[in-house]
Amino acid sequence: MRQVQVENLDGIPLLGVTGKPKLKGIERMLKRLMDLIIILVTLPVILTIFALVALAIWLERKGPIIYAQQRIGENGKPFTIYKFRSMIPDADKYQQEMISQYEQDPLHPKFKDDWRVTRVGWFIRRTSIDELPNLINVVRGQMSLIGPRPPTPDEVAMYKPWHRQRLETMPGITGLWQVSGRSEVPLRRDVPVRYLLY
- Who wins on pLDDT, 100 or 141? 141
What gap in Å lies between CA 31 and CA 67, rounded to an integer?
Answer: 27
Return the closest-CA partner of residue 148 out of 71, 80, 85. Answer: 71
The pLDDT of residue 172 is 94
> Which one-letter DSSP state was computed for residue 1?
-
* Res. 151 pLDDT band, cuts 50 70 90: very high
Q: Which amino acid is at 1?
A: M
The parent domain of residue 59 ranges over: 4-197
User: Across the chain, what does the average pLDDT equal?
Assistant: 80
Helices vs. strands in the chain: H and E counts, helices first: 8, 6
Please tell me the total count of domains within the chain: 1
Of the spans 16-30, 52-66, 87-101, which averages the highest pLDDT? 52-66
Give how far Cα 31 sits from Cα of 23, 40, 107, 156, Å: 9, 14, 31, 26
